[in-house]
Chain A
Amino acid sequence: MTTKLFFSIVLLCIGTFLQEFFLSHLALFQVSPDIMTIFIVFIAITVDQKSSTSFGFAAGILTGIFSGNMGLNMLARTIEGFIAGYFHIPEESHATARQKTRKFYVAILAAGFFGHAVIAAGYNPLGLTPAYRIFILGFLESLFTLMLAVILNWLFLRKSFAD
């Protein structure tokens, strides 16, 4: 349990680093894929809602330090973790790998969209209209994050969603 927790914290730090120094440079139409959402959803799917909410909160602190909007990031990530918790797959579940993967992707879309909506509602550096930044950019960011999740799933996470 402690090893798993330690491993998750290390992953959280690596994810923050990647997000801040690499993925944020891949912005297209003002949005970039969010590896932190993938991480939070992965925790929610494989562990439980409480953990995902807590990790979301922690991820919010870390990304908030770099972005300068600590409170808003904490709130958005906490909501992401909490929403993703509803997609948790219990260990005793008989779901197939395909079903688990699909749930993982839907959770990313849902959590990503709401997380982005919270940040977009509280912070508007580009002076865009609320509808545009919440719905259009929110949808785009969730889509980019989903694409990154598909790649990561294909490369690393397939084992975790095995039957």
Chain B
Amino acid sequence: MPKFFTLFFKYNNYLLFVVYCSISLLFIKLQNDDTLENLRTGSIEFSAAVNEKLTNIMYLFNLDKENERLMRVNTDLLTRVLNLETTAADERNRSKILTDSTFNASGFIMARVVDRKFSDRENMLLINAGWKNGIKKDMTVLVPEGLVGRIIAVSEHYAKIMPVINTDFKVSVVSDSSNTMGILSWNGGQESIAQIEHVPISSPLKLNEHMVTSDFSTFSTRGIPVGRVVRITPDKLFYTIDLRLAVDFSSLTQVLIAPLKIEPEKAAIANESTLLEQLP
């Protein structure tokens, strides 16, 4: 017996190891026992609960980063939405012009208004077509509804338009029913109302008559709608006429540029009186 105890104390490390290993193996064998199964289920629940709390705490710490990330995502999405909306609006305006049955847009150059300067005195439009697209100075700018203005400056990719609602703009107009002629101008103020000058008091012009560009214009082709007469005020020699413009300048996004009106003979005969004598 003493010998056994001596051996036991001498090798108790090994004995302890064997005992622990045996218990472990027993547990492995009883892996699917109900008690162990319940213990495992309980531990999984506990573990999940602690993990959830820890995740919540970590989430609070990372809230700044999360907000920053969401802000980036929002910005990205907003940019995409804006791009899509802009493209859709452009396409709508484009197809609106192209599908207008009363207006033949072939031979015209289409451009988008990329900038505008509106004030009570000066109005300028900038379009995204320049001399590379065939734009030249003095070309007529219009939309199916009517006259927009004329090109006054051209760069490689852009052109500047002097719209009808510019105090320096003048164009010869004629009434489509009474053939009354006058000079259209804009005196500032309300952007939808322009004036017609040099209409003699003897002319048969009436309210609501439609005015179109006349052949007298140096840049514009004839027959482009300009507006409708809304007020006629008689003066000593001439009428003071207010015209409601056909084009809504506040919502102008797409425009058409008409080919340049080339009438060299007309210009020459207007400026050169000697030419007449040379002809038979």
Contacts and interface: CB of A to CB of B under 8 A. Distances in A.
Q: Which among B16, B26, B44 has the greatest number of chain A C-beta atoms within 10 A? A: B16
Interface in A48-92: 49-50, 53-54, 56-57, 60, 64-66, 68-72, 74-75, 78-79, 82, 85
Nearest to B27: A71
Given A21-B54, A66-B43, A49 B13 contact: yes
A71 B40 contact: no
A159 B174 CA distance: 105
Contact of A65 (B16, B17, B30, B43): B43
A130 interface: no
Contacts of B75: none
Contact of A71 (B31, B43, B44): B31
A65 B13 contact: no
B11 to A, nearest CB: 11
A57 B18 CA distance: 11
Contacts of A65: 39-40, 43
Nearest to B26: A71
Contacts of B17: 53, 78, 82
Contact of B36 (A70, A72, A78, A82): A70
Contact of A68 (B13, B16, B44): B44
A53 B20 contact: yes
Q: Which bucket holds chain B's interface residue count?
A: 20 to 34
B21 to A, nearest CB: 6
A83 to B, nearest CB: 10
B40 A75 contact: no
Interface residues of A, number: 24
A109 to B, nearest CB: 20
Contacts of A54: 16, 20
Nearest to B23: A74
A122 B24 CA distance: 12
A60 B28 CA distance: 12
A64 B23 CA distance: 13
Contacts of B51: 21
B23 A70 contact: no
A75 B24 contact: yes
A72 B29 CA distance: 10
A74 B24 contact: yes
B42 to A, nearest CB: 8
A70 B33 CA distance: 12
Contacts of A72: 24, 28
B25 interface: yes
B20 A71 contact: no
A78 B20 contact: yes
Q: Which among A49, A56, A85 has the greatest number of chain B C-beta atoms within 10 A? A: A49
A82 B54 CA distance: 34
A95 B152 CA distance: 96
Interface in A78-132: 78-79, 82, 85, 122
B47 A53 contact: no
Contacts of B23: 57, 74
B28 A75 contact: yes
Given A21-B50, A65-B40, A78-B20, A71 B25 contact: yes
B56 interface: no
Interface of B: 12-13, 16-17, 20-21, 23-31, 36, 39-40, 43-44, 47, 50-51, 54
Given A49-B13, A71-B24, A78-B20, 10 more contacts: A21-B50, A21-B51, A21-B54, A50-B13, A68-B43, A70-B36, A71-B25, A75-B28, A78-B24, A122-B28
Interface of A: 20-21, 49-50, 53-54, 56-57, 60, 64-66, 68-72, 74-75, 78-79, 82, 85, 122
- By Cβ-Cβ distance, the 5 closest A-B pairs, closest first, are A71-B27, A71-B28, A75-B24, A74-B24, A65-B43
